[in-house]
Structure 1
Amino acid sequence: MGTWDVGPFDNDTAADFCGSLDETPEAGRPGLVRDALVRVLDAEDPLDQHLAVEAVAAAALVAAQCPGGRPVTSAYGPDLPVPELPADLRDTAVRALDRITAPPSELRELWEETDRYLHWLRSLHLLRRVLTFPAARPVADSWARIDAWMRRHSPASYALLAPPADHAEVEAAQEAMGIRFPADLLESLACHNGITAWDNLVPGRPPMSVAGILGHWRMCVEIAGDDPDLTEASEWGDEPWWHPQWIPWAQSDGDSDVIDMREGPGQGRLGSAPHDDSGHFDDGWPCLATYLTAVADAFEHGSDVDGYVPFLTTEGTVWWDGSGTTDLNGEPLAPAPRSQGHAAAHRGGGEAFRSPGP
């Protein structure tokens, strides 16, 4: 099998599979995608590499139709459009990817023998996380669920959530930045104007107040100035260090989580802008509403957010860490209790398939 890169279509077998899709009448293409995934689930050990490669390509086609999914632009992908795929294929694709990355799998073994193994594994991780994004619920609903959980189980953490932002302050910040905030950020600020002190209340960086958003944005714009090394994408397609159409909504130690408000299909997505590296969106979220939905689900159901789950410290405050963690600085951590009446929700992204890093 000729392979030239880690992408889902970067090999001869995947290209042949996409050619078969193009040759199949439109109504039959969803069935071909499903068959490629199911064959992996039904296969005997060890999993045949060719079956695995076709399933990875099929999973990429499913992910392309999910919120936050990347459109298929590879020259080796299908030339003809794939019709809307059934929603149940998301779970099928997740299970197929899990099968491919677990031994005994010929494809995994072949990649393990190369120096690109971690890059290949990360490419499948990014596919998988898109397939497991929850359906976004209204931001006010997600915050109401988070608030209710914290009031009951962690009053100390709940006390750190700031009251709603002042509408006039929000309008003034948007005017100063020359950016209209997306609806989900406006709705979030109408629930909580960030937090009153740094704490690990949510996975990732803590959300900022309106004043914090404006202050961090101004600082980054001033530092970047007109320097093309900081404001322009690299020749390899990397994001710039900073773009004035990014809204820094969360921040810690100079590193921020940003909302991309540039025109285009990615508008509203979440990404990261480190203080010492270029920005990136590969492991971000489709929108703030999706992220907050996942956080609320984690509190209520015990599911994870990018491999992190909520715990309670001995002081009764929330702390997010990897599943199975037992202590924080020598002090025991207790798994955060789930809301009564809720069964554990299957949302993927578990500890067994955490990203190996860039």
Structure 2
Amino acid sequence: MSHADAVRSSWARIVRWLDENAPISAQALNPPATEADIRELRDSLGCQVPEVLEMWLRCNNGSTAKDSRISIPGGVRLTPHLDSKVFPGGEVFLDCRSIVDRYQNNLRVAEDIGDEDWWEPSWIPVLAEADAHYGLILDAGQRDGSVPVLAYRETDYPKKYASSLEDLLAGMADMLEHGRGDGVLTRGCRASVQNGRVVWD
């Protein structure tokens, strides 16, 4: 099984669990990304879109279906819905447009502060907290073709978090289906359902 197919398989397990157990959370998942969505993502990033990310987005284009975008001077403010936070820690699965917005903003910040190490062009945000500089990114710049997952936060530079997106999602799927697993994302967490929403404790 290819890395992309493994991502699709693990994500399908997660979505099936949400559909059966937390339908309110499942409703926050967008339909699959379109060819136009993927093309815009490719054109907007300064690096190649990893196959594993493209596959994931072609399953569901983020968990932002219930979010709202409000026009503000100089741009748009995304207001996330509670149901968007389907991952442990309250992270939102970013859609193509949100990936581009965060990616470009973080590169601007790195340039403004004169610190290239703060955000590199090969770092693609995929999970993020709505109101904080915290989340997970894919490092698409590895020479060996691997795509490790890095964690970043306001007070620290990105650091390696998981070896791959497929490992991350497989660990979450195991935890949801079996209530156990040693996935880095779900370590020390348990999922429950409240009012149709998945809640991580």
Q: Report the TM range for the smaller structure's normalisation.
A: 0.7 to 0.9
TM-score normalised per structure 2: 0.79
Task: Tell me by how many angstroms 1:295 deviates.
Answer: 1.0
Residue 227 of structure 1 deviates from its aligned partner by 4.8
Which residue of 2 is the match for residue 317 of structure 1? Answer: 197
Query: Per-residue deviation at 1:262?
Result: 1.6
Total equivalences in the alignment: 175
Structure 2 residue aligned with 1:278, among 150, 154, 157? 157
**Deviation for aligned residue 1:249:** 0.8
Point out the structure with the larger helix share: 1
| Residue in structure 2 matched with residue 68 of structure 1 by the alignment | none
Is 1:138 aligned to residue 6 of structure 2?
yes
Q: 1:221 aligns with which of 88, 97, 107?
A: 107
Aligned counterpart, 2:139: 260
| Alpha-carbon spacing, 1:136–1:182, altered in 2? closer, same or farther (3 Å) | closer
For 1:183 and 1:140, how far apart are their aligned partners in 2?
11
Structure 1: distance between partners of 2:200 and 2:144 = 31
TM-score (norm 1): 0.46
Check the 8 A contact 2:4/2:55 in 1, yes or no: no
Distance (whole Å) between structure 2 residues aligned to residue 189 and residue 178 of structure 1: 18
* RMSD (Å) for aligned C-alpha atoms: 2.1
Work out the CA distance in 2 between the residues paired with 1:200 and 1:294.
17
* Corresponding residue SS for 1:319: strand
Q: Which residue of 2 aligns with 1:250?
A: 127
Percent identical pairs in the alignment equals 28
Q: 1:293 aligns with which of 152, 163, 170?
A: 170
Q: Secondary structure at the match of 1:299?
A: helix
Deviates most, 186-195 or 146-155: 146-155
Secondary structure, aligned partner of 2:85: coil
Q: Which runs of 5+ in 2 are unaligned?
A: 65-80
Q: Judge conservation of contact 2:38–2:96 (CA < 8 Å) in 1.
A: yes
Question: Does the aligned pair in 1 maintain the 2:150–2:158 contact within 8 Å?
Answer: yes
Higher relative contact order (Cα pairs below 8 Å, separated by 6+ residues): 2
- The counterpart of 1:308, out of the listed 183, 189, 192, is 189
Give the deviation of 1:161 after TM superposition.
1.1
- Residue ranges of structure 1 left out of the alignment (5+ in a row): 1-134, 232-239, 322-358
Rate the CA distance shift 1:310–1:137 in 2: closer, same or farther, 3 A. Answer: farther
> How much does 1:136 deviate?
9.4
Residue type matched to 1:212 in 2?
S
**Residues 166-245 of structure 1 aligned to structure 2 (within 5 Å):** 166-196=34-64, 197-198=81-82, 199-204=84-89, 205-225=91-111, 227-228=113-114, 230-231=115-116, 240-245=117-122
* TM-fit CA distance, 1:312: 1.3
